[in-house]
Structures are given as structure tokens and as C-alpha cells.
A and B are shown apart, each in its own frame.
Chain A
Amino acid sequence: MSCFFCIINNRYDGICKMPLIYMVKNLSYYKNLYVQTAYGYLEKIKNGISQLFKTPHNKEIVNDTYISIHSLKSQSMAMGYEKTAYLCNVIESIFKEFKEGKKDAESGLLSLIMNSLEKLSTSVNSIKNENVEIDLSEDTKKLSEAGGIKNNY
């Protein structure tokens, strides 16, 4: 079966690696659902980080923010927005280290994450309006290095 992604990328090798979502009916329904919930998660994550600037050791905020970024990552991957998912994965990894007490939620790192969230918002806007995510590979690389996260992508 060829999905529209394979067709637009001139790939007819019979091995479609795109998520099933592109081959199911009601793609626009799932895209709209994705966009709607993504905006919600981004808002929660931004609010969480804003609070962490003031109370960096608040475990509840760290955990709630971690859950939101995890969910955004999972959904993005499911929809085939890999670059968005990979940047979310780096932020999630940093928050996992905050949760486990391996890293402090210091303001410099939080500012970098906040910048990344702006890029993620831009990506979701692009998905909504242009049906395509933006290139986040440089942002992913920079945040991985700043956060000390091993990045295989």
C-alpha cells in the first residue's frame, strides 16, 4: 500500500515506513485532534516551566510537566512528526533527570527549554496551516548538548 507520504516523496520500494495514521481514514480528524491537544500540552509545559523559575524544586510541577512533554512526544511520533517528537524527547529526558534529582532545574537550562518550546509551537502551527513540521534538528542538537543528553537522532 502506498500512502500519500510515499507518493509525494517518490518512494515506491514497497516498504512504507510511515505510521499507519497516514493510511487510515479520517486523517484530517486525527490531525485536528493532534493539533488541538498539542496546543494544550504546550500551554501546560510553558506554565510549568514559568513556575519552575520561581520554585525549581517543586516535584509536583516537575512531574506534571514531564507527563505533558511525554504525551506531546508520543502523539507527534504517532502522527509521523519525527523532528517534533525528537525535540520533545530531549526535553522529556531533561525533565526525567529533574525528577530523579540528577539535575537541577536551573534558570539557564529552563530558558533554553522555553526557547525550544517556542520552536515547537511554530512547528505545530506549521503542521496546522501547511501540513508539515519545521526542521528542528539544530534546536534538538543544541538542547541535547546543553542538557547533557545523549541524542541518537
Chain B
Amino acid sequence: MRILIIEDDTFFQNFYQTKLEEKGFQIYIASNGNEGLSKIYSLKPDLIILDLIMPEKDGFEVLQVLSQNTDFKKIPVLVFSTLGQESDVQKAKQLGASDYVNKSFLDLDKLISKIHSVAKTIKT
């Protein structure tokens, strides 16, 4: 499965790319919303993991752009949340995110379970 992680923080890019590749996923990284959208267009990933707070177009703006594109709005999106972001997660779901995972917990089992769960969802 090809997964695009749109995340500006080097620490989390490093951790999640390393750990998910060890589990057999093909991982691509984008460091901000603009780069993320560019890679979505070129790669057409199977799933997107999206941070919400980023420079150069945040996760909410990315979700809005995706929701307006007939092809790309079908790609399931898992958002990364962290401490104090409950309302941000709700907003992201209203914009089309399939689910969320708390990136600070570094819970790989939970992340992989959610990846498999949302990947089965065909968005219309």
C-alpha cells in the first residue's frame, strides 16, 4: 500500500516513515500542504496521513482542496492529532477526514489498524 504522509515535523517524519516501511508499506513524505497536494497529484497514493498544523497550507486547507476534486476526494485520509486538538479533529472530519490518530502516542499497532480500516472504505 502506498501511503503519503504530509507532516512538517522531522521527528515524526523520521519515526513514522521508518516504522511503517519496516511493516511493508511504501511511504512518501511531504513537508507542507503545498508539497503534499503536489505529491497527491503525481503519486495518487492509496491513503494519506495528514498533519493539521503545518506551514504553507495547513491540513484543513488540504482537506478542502481534496473535497473539491472528484478523483482525489476518494482517497481515505487519516489525520494526525496531538494533545489539545479535539476540536481540530472534529473540524477535519467535517472536511472529509476518515479518522484520526494521535501521533504523540507513537502507537504503531493502532495506526496500522486504522490504516487497514479506512483503506477498506471507498469514499464517494
Q: Residues of A at under 8 Å CB distance from B? A: 19-21, 24, 30, 33-34, 37, 63-64, 66-67, 70-71, 73-75, 77-78, 85-86, 89, 92-93
Contacts and interface: CB of A to CB of B under 8 A. Distances in A.
A20 B105 contact: yes
17 contacts: A19-B105, A20-B108, A24-B19, A33-B10, A33-B14, A37-B9, A67-B53, A67-B54, A70-B82, A73-B84, A74-B82, A75-B12, A75-B104, A78-B103, A78-B105, A78-B106, A89-B84
Contacts of A77: 82-83, 104
A67 B55 CA distance: 7
B10 to A, nearest CB: 6
B41 interface: no
Interface of B: 8-12, 14-15, 19, 53-55, 82-84, 103-108
Given A20-B106, A37-B9, A74-B103, 13 more contacts: A19-B104, A20-B107, A20-B108, A33-B14, A67-B53, A70-B53, A74-B9, A74-B12, A74-B104, A77-B83, A78-B15, A78-B103, A93-B84
Contacts of A33: 10-11, 14
B106 A19 contact: yes
